[in-house]
Amino acid sequence: MSSILPLDADFFNNPYPTYHSLREHHPVVWDSELRRWLVFRYDDVVRVLKDTSTFSSVRSDLVLPVHSQMGFDRVSRHIGLWMVSNDGSEHSRLRSIIENRFSPQTVRKILPRIEERARGLQKSILLKVCADFVAEYSFLLPAQVITELL
């Protein structure tokens, strides 16, 4: 079996050219190694995510050799436990545990700290000659806020 995705370090370092090609030539494709359908166009992805009667969020415990080589195998084994990787009653059960932590009232209470964190990250980026906005702001700020909410 062979994956339509080149599951190597080069792909994981820069998957975007491959994704672009797949959107153009294979927008929906069965991947025999991953044992799942891969969907690459935005409108198709939205349709799949909204149609919960046809499609499932449940993930199998899929660990590929490349995961082990790159250190992802430990994480991959636990993804199936995540709320977004479950359907129906299990998804509802997991959601009920945390949903009050993400209520508008809870977020409003910590809004001053969110704004303070945002300003702090902005200042640290502005002090640099070169910065990676995604890594140093777009990833960090939501991660910090979610951590505080939980």
Q: What is the pLDDT of residue 110?
A: 95
Q: Is 28 helix (H, G, I), strand (E, B) or coil?
A: strand
Q: What is the pLDDT of residue 125?
A: 94
Q: What is the pLDDT of residue 9?
A: 80
Q: What is the pLDDT of residue 79?
A: 72
Q: Domains (ranges, CATH) in the chain?
A: 9-98 (3.30.43), 103-149 (no CATH)
Q: What is the pLDDT of residue 66?
A: 57
Alpha helices in 71-128 (DSSP H): 73-79, 88-98, 104-126
pLDDT beneath 70, residues of the chain: 1-2, 59-77
Residue length, the chain?
150
**CA 41/CA 39 separation, integer angstroms:** 6
